[in-house]
Amino acid sequence: MKGNEAIAEAAIQAGCRHYFGYPITPQTEIAAYMAKRMPKIGGTFLQAESEIAAINMVYGVSSAGKRVMTSSSSPGISLKSEGLSYLAGSDLPALVVNAQRGGPGLGGIQPSQSDYFQATRGGGHGDYHMIVLAPSSVQEMADLTIKGFELADQYRMTAMVLADGTIGQMMEPVSFDFEIKEQIAKPWATTGTKMARKHNVVNSLYLNPEQLEKTNFERYERYEVIKQNETLCEEYLCDDADIIIAAFGIAARVSKNAVNEARANGIKAGLIRPITLWPFPEKVFAKHAEHAKQIISVELSMGQMIEDVRLATSCKVPVTLCCRVGGMIPTPDQVYNAIVEANEKGGK
Amino acid sequence: MIVFDRPKSLIDVPFHYCPGCTHGIVHRLVAEAIDELGIEGKTVGIAPVGCSVMAYDYFNCDMIEAAHGRAPAVATGVKRSDPDNLIVFTYQGDGDLASIGTAETVHAAARNENITVIFINNAIYGMTGGQMAPTSLPGQVTQTSPYGRDVNLCGYPVKICEMLSELEGPEYLERVTVNSVKNVYNAKRAIKKAFQNQIDGKGFSLIEVISSCPTNWGMTPKEALKWIDDKMIPYYPLGVYKDRSAGILGGAQKEAK
Amino acid sequence: MAKVTFREDECKGCGLCTDVCPKGILQLSKDKINKKGHHPAECIDLDQCIGCASCAVMCPDCIIKVER
């Protein structure tokens, strides 16, 4: 199964019955899959007139308390950013997929990780975050989609699956043997009062500054809980590592091969693969900064995650960048060479 | 016997609108329609950005505040979340519906989305203090057209009912006004019909209400109602632009017939 | 016997009701000032009221109650 199809099927398994989107490469398989499946299971697939309309349809379904998703790729996510900010301001759960491609502007249609800042900082205006999940296999495309729906509902916020064109197009076997948790109640949803309760209002407008401040502080308290409880990452051969690679998504797959090659050649290399990009696994990086000589951030961007790595390690260890951009992907050899170079002359 | 009182689905709080602003009349008409059709418990309203941004504080039914211009897309989502049980309306001004949200309006109409749209056209941006609207009249003086709307510079007003009537999609399009007792009763009939259409599953109904903005037009409330007769209605003629069930089709469809 | 009552303190003094009264018995109070600082609408001759509700129909603030 293709990575993009795994996302779509997982969403259906998670109980999502509403999908809204607008065609854009390289994620169109998600829309196509939904277009085929949704009518057969009593769901809604609607091709919206724009990404902006699609995210606002998501806003509507989410307000009414149902699981809902949209997907797009980088330029489309920029258009959706208005809606992402409103979803955050109204504390609405939603699942959004970004199969990243190169930018800025139209950029290209080849894979990229250059929306890291946009995703982890929220994307739209105002103080807010999304939970950002970074799959590095087709199986994880499915796993993290389901997790995304659950976290979104639990914390009343958007979860973004930040994938890329490569994993979206990649074919791998996927197991759909999930235990889907029962969906939590949403007493705040606008489902009609049925004349049995006070009216519910879904809103992000606070003309009273004290109230807006209070709301923002409360939201950030919730974010602290998420940081404590929901941070995910894979630590691979890190405990004794001198050289640690920081990489997520497709870059992590490449890097793992390079780490294995380095180990085979006697270099103590390891890999930290953040699975949640927000919240970022700061503690794991801080822990390994105590013994590592150097950290190399391997990215399909001009260096975005590297800033979080530096913040997490409080600059206790040199952090360098190994990157390809514009749709190019680093080879295991390129990463291996960076490890060798760091091992020979790098370090603290 | 009570002949007239506040409708039940209107929350008992004072409106924040300026003296003589007709938003209040239209709010009341929407609430009366909801009461008379007995649908308050299943209705979800979508508020816009503009003067009526806080409409969610005035209606007793569930309410959602949408981003500027996006109400028809939000309404689409809400309606499709539970099409058999929910009645969904949007309440939007001219900047919201006819400028920043034109695409959302046109495509919701084209899909014949089974929702009710209340469109307040007062030819000006009220909330931000009187700037030129997509519906400001040629020559109309506003804060951002201080020498009068120059059609060579910024084009002509958007006539929403005429424009949408060219689409096959929408069920019902009517332009009304609320500048006299008779016209208010007529507007009430149209708004109620727009809700009834949704109950009957007929699809997209939009009522354009020509409204006044005494504050930003720089007139007394009474003068503003007269300006509607003198200036607005000649440019925006009242009437039914489409009523598919009644066989009234618009534009090219009418000619084809 | 018709009766028209105003929620005086919520009146914004726009005067739209006074213009449409067929009996001409509504006016903005000349001496009263309400909590909002407006001269509120009032009926100066209730005996003549026919309970047509024209005033209430035009009131943008929904503060008029009409009984008959």
- How distant is the Cα of B185 from the closest Cα of chain C, in angstroms? 8
Supply A211's token pair: 């109230």
d(CA B169, CA B132): 30
d(CA B243, CA B206): 11
Residue with tokens 């290399």, as numbered in its chain: A269
Supply B138's token pair: 């040629």
> C14 touching B, CB under 8 A?
yes
Query: Which CATH entry fits the domain spanning A3-179+216-229: 3.20.20.70, 3.40.50.970, 3.50.50.60, 3.40.50.1370?
Result: 3.40.50.970
Cβ neighbours of B56 in A, within 8 Å:
201, 203
Q: How many residues does chain A have?
A: 348
Q: Which of B40, B78, B106 sits opposite A60 (nearest CB)?
A: B78
- Test B78 with A61 for CB contact under 8 angstroms: yes
For A127-186, what is each residue's pLDDT tens digit? 999 999 999 999 999 999 999 999 999 999 999 999 988 999 999 999 999 888 999 999
Helices (H), chain C: 16-20, 54-58
Angle at A136 between CA A131 and CA A137, to 5 degrees: 120
Q: Which of C13, C62, C65 sits opposite B24 (nearest CB)?
A: C62
A28 pLDDT band (50/70/90 cuts)? Answer: very high
Q: What pLDDT, on the 0 to 100 scale, is given for residue B256?
A: 65
Region at A303 (left for phi over 0; alpha for psi -120 to 50; beta for the rest): left
Secondary element (H or E) of residue A13: helix A3-13
Largest CA distance in chain A: 73
Residue with tokens 């941004």, as numbered in its chain: B53
> B14 touching C, CB under 8 A?
yes
- How distant is the Cα of B6 from the closest Cα of chain C, in angstroms? 6
Domain ranges of chain A: 3-179+216-229, 234-345
Residue of B nearest to C61 (CA): B24
Do A3-179+216-229 and A234-345 fold alike per CATH?
yes
Average pLDDT over residues A258-265: 98
Secondary element (H or E) of residue C41: strand C41-43
Please name which of A314, A26, A88, A82 lies closest in space to residue A222, comparing C-alpha atoms: A88
> B182 touching C, CB under 8 A?
no
d(CA A203, CA A90): 5
Region at A195 (left for phi over 0; alpha for psi -120 to 50; beta for the rest): left
Q: What are the residues facing C43 on neighbouring strands?
A: C26
Say yes or no to pLDDT of A61 above 70: yes
Size of interface A-B (CB pairs under 8 A): 134
Do C and A make contact via 3 or more CB pairs under 8 A? The reply is no
As a CATH number, domain A234-345 is 3.40.50.920
> Is there a contact between A108 and A326 (Cβ–Cβ < 8 Å)?
yes
- How distant is the Cα of A129 from the closest Cα of chain B, in angstroms? 19
Q: Which of B46, B66, B107 sits opposite A49 (nearest CB)?
A: B107
Average pLDDT over residues C36-64: 97
Average pLDDT over residues C30-45: 96
Supply B93's token pair: 């001004």
Secondary element (H or E) of residue B234: helix B233-235
Q: What pLDDT, on the 0 to 100 scale, is given for residue C1?
A: 80
Residue with tokens 């995304």, as numbered in its chain: A148
- How distant is the Cα of B169 from the closest Cα of chain C, in angstroms? 34
Q: Which domains does chain B have, with CATH numbers?
A: 23-256 (3.40.50.970)
Return per-residue pLDDT of chain B as tens, 257 residues: 999 999 999 999 999 999 999 999 999 999 999 999 999 999 999 999 999 999 999 999 999 999 999 999 999 999 999 999 999 999 999 999 999 999 999 999 999 999 999 999 999 999 999 999 999 999 999 999 999 999 999 999 999 999 999 999 999 999 999 999 999 999 999 999 999 999 999 999 999 999 999 999 999 999 999 999 999 999 999 999 999 999 999 877 776 65
User: Subunits touching B (CB < 8 Å, at least 3 pairs)?
Assistant: A, C
Q: Which of A60, A199, A205 sits opposite B77 (nearest CB)?
A: A60
Q: Which of B41, B56, B104 sits opposite A193 (nearest CB)?
A: B41
A347 pLDDT band (50/70/90 cuts)? Answer: low
Q: What are the residues facing B242 on neighbouring strands?
A: B173
- How distant is the Cα of B54 from the closest Cα of chain C, in angstroms? 15
